[in-house]
């Protein structure tokens, strides 16, 4: 229990009035002094008696919001005390983002009340919502009682997604990598390849009974993995005013590959990524949430390596597609990246410029087989720029 600014002023007035009454012989000042002290005492008794004994539970929908997406936080306030609460003043502190203040009407003993507010999703990354601060004040606003309720909640705000259309074949050879090794036991993603004779150790569940009955000897069904896209997404972590848009572009490419059911490898220019240890191709659809979580928490790095340096370490993996998401860069830098990524059969350089002036058509046209540069000006929609660039590239090849 603490004095408010008003309460401190009233309490400080009491001895001043008492001193004036003693020095000047003013009985009115003595009465006012006693009233001020009595008012603070009554406020203390009232606040102590109506101290809130509440618990809060917080739920967030959606649980994984994206930047700019509406998100609602619902607070459930349960009165665990033996008497009704006073008017509750709740403070929700979102670490490094904002603080919100809510008012809740008195809650009867043993009952609960609900309130909600909009969660700010303008900042990407992991946001921490601290325990709710519950505060009550006496009717005169002289004293307040404050205590925390509930637990800490973490909210991961994912990058914004843009619905991208599939890349056209004119950008280079389709990076389709078949698995030539036949499997004895098929997985859901495998396709029927043919029949073969039984070999010791084969799974009997894969016997093709009609052919076995006709030939008189065991015949097995053979499966192999279907063709899959193989894409490497490279995100530049160098400090840039358009870094957030680069992250959003990388997340959108991951979503595109997940829709197409391809394999993907997410690489950043962080210093620890130079060794490329533990970075391998994964199924984009199966690992979609994990890849989005990683992009949600990625940060700019002053120690990031250059894109050309990292390209020297990247294996093309039977051709494959390379999509580079970076900030604005000079034509010289683009030429270096273009020549240093020829091990990939299809390459897309997606830069995020800070101006609304679009590039000329000649700069967007592919300079060689399998190369496309897409510039995303600030203030425009990525899906529109993406579609326009890919259509222009297709027209230039015809």
pLDDT in tens, 293-309: 999 999 998 888 888 88
Higher pLDDT, 95 or 243: 243
Residue 277: pLDDT band with limits 50, 70, 90: low
Residue 363: pLDDT band with limits 50, 70, 90: very low
Predicted local confidence at residue 316, as pLDDT? 60
pLDDT exceeds cutoff 90 at 341: no
CA distances from 208 to 205, 219, 306 (A): 9, 6, 55
Where is average pLDDT lowest: 146-150, 201-205, 374-378, 379-383?
201-205
- Give CA–CA dist 176/136, Å, rounded: 65
Predicted local confidence at residue 189, as pLDDT? 43
Structure tokens at 20: 């004036």
Q: How many CB atoms lie within 10 A of CB 122?
A: 9
pLDDT exceeds cutoff 80 at 144: yes
- Give CA–CA dist 302/297, Å, rounded: 16
Residue 187: pLDDT band with limits 50, 70, 90: very low
Predicted local confidence at residue 17, as pLDDT? 85
Predicted local confidence at residue 276, as pLDDT? 59
pLDDT exceeds cutoff 80 at 184: no
- Give CA–CA dist 168/159, Å, rounded: 25
Predicted local confidence at residue 25, as pLDDT? 80
Share of the chain above pLDDT 90, in %: 30
pLDDT exceeds cutoff 60 at 318: no
Higher pLDDT, 52 or 166: 166
Mean pLDDT value of segment 145-162:
91
- pLDDT averaged over the chain? 81
Widest CA span in the chain: 125
- Give CA–CA dist 106/177, Å, rounded: 65
pTM as predicted: 0.74
CA distances from 11 to 14, 22, 167, 309 (A): 5, 18, 74, 70
Predicted local confidence at residue 201, as pLDDT? 65
């Amino acid at each position: 229990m603490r004095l408010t600014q008003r309460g401190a002023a009233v309490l400080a007035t009491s001895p001043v009035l008492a001193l004036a009454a003693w020095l000047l012989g003013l009985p009115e000042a003595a009465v006012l002094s006693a009233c001020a002290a009595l008012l603070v005492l009554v406020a203390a008794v009232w606040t102590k008696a109506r101290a809130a004994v509440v618990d809060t539970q917080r739920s967030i929908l959606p649980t994984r919001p994206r930047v700019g997406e509406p998100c609602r936080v619902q607070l459930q306030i349960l009165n665990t005390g033996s008497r009704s609460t006073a008017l509750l003043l709740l403070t929700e502190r979102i670490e490094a983002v904002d603080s919100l203040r809510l008012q809740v009407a008195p809650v009867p003993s043993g009952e609960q009340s609900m309130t909600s507010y909009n969660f700010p999703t303008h900042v990407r990354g992991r946001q921490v919502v601290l325990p709710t601060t519950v505060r009550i004040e006496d009717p005169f606003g002289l004293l307040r009682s404050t205590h925390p309720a509930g637990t800490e909640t973490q909210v991961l705000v994912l990058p914004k997604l843009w619905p991208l259309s599939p890349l056209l074949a004119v950008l280079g050879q389709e990076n389709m990598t078949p698995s030539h090794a036949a499997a004895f036991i098929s997985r859901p993603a495998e396709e029927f390849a043919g029949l073969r004779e039984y070999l010791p150790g084969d799974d009997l569940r894969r016997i093709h009974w009609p052919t076995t009955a006709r030939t008189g000897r065991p015949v097995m069904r053979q499966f192999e993995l279907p063709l899959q896209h193989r894409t490497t997404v490279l995100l530049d972590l160098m400090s840039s005013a358009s870094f957030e848009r680069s992250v959003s572009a990388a997340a959108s490419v991951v979503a595109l590959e997940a829709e197409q059911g391809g394999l993907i490898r997410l690489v950043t220019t962080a210093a620890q990524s130079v060794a490329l240890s533990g970075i391998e191709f994964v199924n984009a659809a199966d690992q979609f949430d994990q890849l989005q979580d990683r992009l949600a928490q990625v940060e700019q790095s002053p120690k990031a390596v250059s894109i050309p340096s990292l390209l020297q370490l990247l294996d093309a993996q039977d051709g494959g597609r390379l999509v580079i998401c970076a900030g604005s860069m000079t034509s010289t830098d683009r030429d270096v990246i273009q020549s240093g990524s020829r091990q990939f059969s299809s390459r897309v350089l997606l830069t995020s410029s800070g101006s609304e002036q679009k590039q000329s058509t000649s700069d967007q046209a592919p300079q060689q087989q399998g190369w496309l540069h897409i510039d995303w000006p600030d203030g425009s929609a990525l899906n529109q720029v993406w579609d326009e660039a890919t259509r222009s590239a297709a027209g230039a090849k015809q």
